[in-house]
Chain A
Amino acid sequence: MSDAVIVVVLLLVAACATAAVVQRDPARQALVLSVLGVLLAALFTVLQAPDVGLSQLAVGSALTPLLIMLCVRKIRRRGRPKEDAR
């Protein structure tokens, strides 16, 4: 039973990680990365490492995507002319 769960979560992680690489837009990549963070947290929890799962949930699915989004926003704003910058 628990082996089946591990296999399913592993497959989901692999699929999501591939999606993150295939996706070329950094903002969307950050969103996929956040989903990947949740899946990895589930994987760690299934493998009986809830401490690592919690770290992964907090850092991998909230903090890192947020930092990437902020960087993307800064860079896009710089590329735009001043008047329509928000």
Chain B
Amino acid sequence: MNRLRLWLLAVGGAGLAALLVAACLDLPGFGGRRHPYGDRAVQASLARHTANTISSVNFDQRAYDTLGEMSILFAAVLGCVVLLRQARDEHRDRPEPAEVARPVRRYALLVLPVALVTGLYVVAHGQLSPGGGFQGGVVAATALHLLYLGADYGALERVRPLGVYETSDAVAVCAYLVLGLASVLAGTAFLANTLLPYGTFNTLSSGGTVPLLNAAIGMEVASAVVVLLAHFLDQAVEIEEEQGS
């Protein structure tokens, strides 16, 4: 049985290796000058006044892919919430206020607002500079958890009403879908960026629906990360198994 498994693994591994080598042989050279796909993507993004081509690809040219990625994150967080819920043989213990070293507290409380604003800045400027809803959302959500380092879990729980974040996660997913459907109602394709004026190049309101979709993703990712970390923290800090189980 064990031998058979090893054989199966060897055959699968060899097949994968052969395919990877074949694919790598056909790749264009490293750092070449010709980028046919890149040139077309840049042209399309400039035509729609979006300064950050990556955002244009994510929220305009391939907005449908982003819808899929957003659904993956949403479903994954939903699965974690279901798995990490408080089971019948577990109970909640109030965590005791913990002693925090002074430099840690000072540093965490100093960096928290800076990190939070950085995250929001990255979300807001997704259509202009590197970054966007996903990156900024993760930064903003993790910044909030500096409060757990700087103070304790009780303080974090007070500024983080979980229900609000769960609701805003769902609302953001709906907002993305509604924006997509709006272009259908306007007579074009689902998630087509033809609804709004494209605005002046390199300003916050440029790019048509790109900033709106970007903001929806930012809200979704930030809330999803907060909810995810909240359930992991609950398990790690509060939820105890019953004795003798």
Contact between chains at A62 and B138 (CB < 8 Å)? yes
* B236 touching A58, Cβ below 8 Å: no
In whole angstroms, what is the CA distance A35 to B228 when docked? 23
Q: Do A66 and B241 touch across chains, with their CB atoms under 8 A apart?
A: no
19 contacts between A and B (CB under 8 A): A50-B130, A50-B131, A51-B130, A51-B131, A53-B130, A54-B130, A54-B131, A58-B138, A58-B139, A58-B142, A59-B138, A63-B138, A63-B225, A70-B235, A71-B232, A71-B236, A73-B236, A74-B236, A86-B96
Question: Taking the complex as formed, is A67 at the interface, i.e. its CB lies under 8 A from any CB of chain B?
Answer: yes
What does the 1/0 interface line of B44-87 toward A look like (CB < 8 Å)?
A: 00000000101000000000000000000000000000000000
A82 to B245, CA, bound (A): 13
Interface centre among A51, A55, A59, A78 (most CB of B within 10 A): A51
Contact of B9 with A by CB under 8 A: no
Known: A54-B122, A55-B135, A63-B138. Is A82-B243 also a contact (CB below 8 A)?
A: yes
- Shortest CB-to-CB span from B112 to chain A, Å, is 13
Residues of B within 8 A of A67 (CB): 228-229, 232
Given contacts A50-B131, A51-B54, A71-B236, 11 further A-B contacts (CB under 8 A): A51-B130, A53-B130, A55-B134, A57-B135, A58-B138, A58-B142, A63-B225, A63-B229, A67-B229, A70-B236, A78-B241
Whose C-beta in chain A lies nearest to the C-beta of B137?
A58
B155 at the interface (CB under 8 A from A): no
Q: How many contacting A-B pairs (Cβ < 8 A)?
A: 51
Give the residues from 164 to 203 in chain B that come closer than 8 angstroms, CB to CB, to chain A: none
Shortest Cβ distance from residue B78 to the other chain A in the assembled complex, whole angstroms: 16
Q: A54-B130, A62-B142 are in contact. Are A70 and B232 (CB under 8 A)?
A: yes
Q: Is B117 an interface residue (CB 8 A)?
A: no
Is residue B14 within 8 Å, beta carbon to beta carbon, of the partner chain? Answer: no
> Which residues of chain B from 126 to 176 have a CB within 8 Å of any chain A CB?
130-132, 134-135, 138-139, 142, 145
Within 8 A of B (CB), among A31-86: 50-51, 53-55, 57-59, 62-63, 66-67, 70-71, 73-74, 77-78, 82, 85-86
The yes or no answer to B110 lying at the interface (CB within 8 A) is no
Contacts of B16 in A (CB 8 A): none
Contact A66 B145 (CB under 8 A): yes
CB of B233 within 8 A of chain A? yes
Contact with A along B10-23 (1 / 0, CB 8 A): 00000000000000
Q: Which residues from A are CB-within-8-Å of B134?
A: 55
Residues of B within 8 A of A63 (CB): 138, 142, 225, 229
